[in-house]
Amino acid sequence: MNFEIFVIDTFFEDYYNDAISEYAKRLGRYCKIKLTKIKDSSSLEAALNGKAYVIQIRPRGRSLSSEEFSRELSNLATSGISSVAFIIGMKYATADESISLTTMDLSPALNTVCLYEQIYRAYRIIKNEPYHK
């Protein structure tokens, strides 16, 4: 699976960049994952390029448990979808679905860290591997 996370271009503290690098490294054995910062939502359409299944992350999206999120990713893969785009911190009206990591507002940087952590956790669940760290 190819994941691309599109996040509004705000300041990312070093500690959040470090966390993202660590999860990206751990995820390397399961998938391709890329983080793209976007100036504003009007640039999104061109960046998305119509090729990916688009999931918007927002507080009022559908709430999922980690197990449900892992099943969701697994189902996408088995239904032949090879590219998933996540959108954080921007409105995008025509997303395929909206999910909620939390009903609270998190900074885009912290939201991104949580999404990486959940994708990593999803693969650990899918592969039936313990979540050590």
- Minimum Å gap between C-beta 51 and a copy of itself is 27
Binding residue (CB under 8 A) for a copy of itself from 13, 96, 97, 129: 13
Query: By CB under 8 A, is residue 27 in contact with a copy of itself?
Result: no
SS3 state of residue 95: coil
Q: Are 85 and 36 in contact (CB under 8 A)?
A: no
Say if CB 98 and CB 60 are below 8 A apart.
Answer: yes
In angstroms, the CA 39 to CA 20 distance is 20
Closer CB to a copy of itself, residue 54 or residue 118? 118
Sole binder of a copy of itself in the list 76, 81, 106, 126 (CB under 8 A): 106
101 binds a copy of itself (CB under 8 A): yes
Using DSSP's 3-state secondary structure scheme, residue 11 falls into coil
Applying CB under 8 A, which of residues 75, 105, 127, 129 lies at the interface with a copy of itself? 105
Binders of a copy of itself among residues 32 to 91 (CB under 8 A) are: 59, 63-66, 69
Interatomic CA distance for residues 94 and 23, integer angstroms: 28
AA letter at 101:
L
Candidates 8, 48, 56, 118: give the one binding a copy of itself (CB under 8 A).
118
Work out the angle between the directed axes of helices 66-78 and 108-126 (0-180°, nearest 10): 70
What tokens does 87 get? Answer: 């959108």
Binding-site members for S-adenosyl-L-methionine are: 57, 89, 101-106
Task: List interacting residues with a copy of itself (CB under 8 A).
Answer: 11, 13-16, 18-19, 22, 59, 63-66, 69, 100-107, 110, 113-114, 117-118, 121, 131, 133
